[in-house]
Amino acid sequence: MLTHVVRRFLPATFAGSRSWLSLSLVGLLAWALVAHAVPPSPEPSGDPVVPFRLTAAQVQQSERGKVTRFHVASFNILGYNHTAKGGDRKGFVNGRKRMEYAYKVLKNNHVNVVGFQELQPQQFEKFNKMTGKRWSVYPGARFERIAMHNSIAWKTKKWDRIDADYINIPYFFGDPVKMPIVKLRHRNTGRTVYFANFHNPADSYGNAQKWRDIARKKQIELAKRKFREGVPLVITGDMNEREKYFCNMVAKAPMRAANGGKNPKNKPCNTPEPMGIDWIFGSRYIGFSHYKKLESKLVRRTTDHPFVVTRASIPSR
């Protein structure tokens, strides 16, 4: 049978050569014995290797089915002016040095997306100098100076920016401030995620509850729009509210807080613990774990706020 098969596929010039045929038969028999005796190599484990030449659409298709995981933080880093000469926060070193501490906090907690509040030009310049092209920032210096304060930053080896926008949020005295929304694509899984970052006004210049109410409603409407769009949304920020912000956000928008809590319909609002004015929220299908509200020695040297961080997990489509 084997001779018949070999003869069938041999070129005409070799069909009559007995010696060649004998060698071919020996070679084929040896190959068959080895293939039968040695089990096939196991499939490689781990993530598939995606060639760099693939388009973004091909990467997204090839990675479909993987869970997207990342560490995200909200970090009010205490603006440079607060600790400069004549500032109102005593006992801190200057803002540039505190930015070094802030970056160390980010690295220690494996953060690859952060919503900054009170990021002022001197701190922004220091951050860029330390990180180079390893991180990108929006809006940074693109708009008026106060818009920089609420910038979002992300690791460029983890994320590609797809789109960027802002919404006007009333700040002190109701003055509108551009606060950012960025759409990022996770480079490993192809998953796109919206990130928005806010700083709602404190009562520093009188009762600002009116402006916080308007800001909160705008942020809830944003969450509802993005949910209808079908793209996950993460909101970070210093909201200057505790129970009121949480109970309204999770009741009126399809969102959950990274630190837990519930506000079921027709039942009392069950606020999370620990709770402060610094928040991370995400669309309902985003899972959160390893939430931390850090007030370590390094954080206290950096700012007068805690550092809030969590791990987010988004299931495959």
Shared-domain flag, residues 177 and 90: yes
Q: Which residues contact 93 (CB under 8 A, 6 or more apart)?
A: 83, 301
- Between 132 and 52, the higher pLDDT residue: 132
Task: Please give the average per-residue pLDDT across 224-238, as a whole number.
Answer: 97
pLDDT tens digits, residue range 275-297?
999 999 999 999 999 999 999 99
Determine the structural domain holding residue 21 and report its residue range: 2-37
Choose among 268, 151, 264, 153: nearest CA to 199. Answer: 151
Q: Would you state the pLDDT for residue 28?
A: 39
Q: Is residue 51 part of a domain?
A: no
Shared-domain flag, residues 100 and 23: no
Shared-domain flag, residues 16 and 116: no
User: Whole-model pTM above 0.85?
Assistant: no
For 305, phi then psi, to 5°, come to -115, 155
Shared-domain flag, residues 31 and 72: no
pLDDT tens digits, residue range 28-45?
344 443 334 333 333 332
pLDDT tens digits, residue range 175-224?
999 999 999 999 999 999 999 999 999 999 999 999 999 999 999 999 99
Q: Is residue 53 part of a domain?
A: no
Task: Please give the average per-residue pLDDT across 227-255, as a whole number.
Answer: 97
Q: Is residue 105 part of a domain?
A: yes
Q: Would you state the pLDDT for residue 1?
A: 46
Q: Would you state the pLDDT for residue 266?
A: 82
Number of domains in the chain: 2
Q: Two tokens at 213?
A: 């109410």
Shared-domain flag, residues 88 and 30: no
Q: Looking at this protein, which amino acid is placed at residue 3?
A: T
pLDDT tens digits, residue range 83-99?
998 888 999 999 999 99
Q: Is residue 60 part of a domain?
A: no
Shared-domain flag, residues 26 and 77: no
pLDDT tens digits, residue range 55-72?
444 344 444 568 999 999
Shared-domain flag, residues 24 and 121: no
Q: Two tokens at 191?
A: 């998953």
Q: Is residue 42 part of a domain?
A: no
Residue 316's pLDDT band (cuts 50, 70, 90): confident
Shared-domain flag, residues 224 and 101: yes
For 315, phi then psi, to 5°, come to -65, 160
- Between 273 and 114, the higher pLDDT residue: 114
Shared-domain flag, residues 168 and 278: yes
Q: Is residue 193 part of a domain?
A: yes
Choose among 96, 182, 106, 176: nearest CA to 139. Answer: 182
Shared-domain flag, residues 32 and 161: no
Shared-domain flag, residues 18 and 82: no
d(CA 202, CA 211): 9
Q: What is the CATH number of the domain that holds 193?
A: 3.60.10.10
Q: Which residues contact 269 (CB under 8 A, 6 or more apart)?
A: 243, 246, 247, 251, 261, 262, 263
Q: Is residue 32 part of a domain?
A: yes
d(CA 5, CA 218): 76
Pairing of strands 176-186, 152-155: unpaired
Q: Is residue 72 part of a domain?
A: yes
Shared-domain flag, residues 29 and 85: no
